[in-house]
Amino acid sequence: MNPTGGAISRPVINSSVFPLYSLKDVLSTENIRSAWKQVRGNRGAPGIDDLSVDVFPTQVRPKWMEIKRQILAGEYFPQPVKRVEIPLLIPHFQYRVLVFVLIALLLKQ
């Protein structure tokens, strides 16, 4: 039996446009540091977790190896977001840093 039902299949993502990275590459110290600098430069409001730009390094750095282990093991799940009046979703601060890592990698060529 043909799993495609006889349809012609092809890759959806052109790897020359979006290079493939392993999670270890994504979570490298260089990428995390770069994303952190970008998030810090935005000077955004604290997330629902009440972590601000100023306390993030002292609160998350000691936990980083465990967070990284959870991500690599497929056990990391971002916490729920908070809806505010405007309506706007405010994610956890550490989630914002991880999003900037992925954006930077996708835009890097």
- Contacts of 49 by beta carbon, 8 Å cutoff, 6+ apart: 79, 92, 93, 94
Q: Where is pLDDT greater, at 10 or 59?
A: 59
**pLDDT band for position 18 (50/70/90)?**
low
Q: Is 106 helix (H, G, I), strand (E, B) or coil?
A: helix
Tell me the CA end-to-end span of the chain in Å, nearest whole number.
40
Q: What pLDDT digit, counting tens, does each position of 59-107 carry?
A: 888 998 999 999 899 998 887 776 667 666 677 888 888 888 888 888 8
Sequence spans of domains, the chain: 23-107
Mean per-residue pLDDT, 55-60: 85
**pLDDT band for position 12 (50/70/90)?**
low
**What value does the mean pLDDT of the chain take?**
79
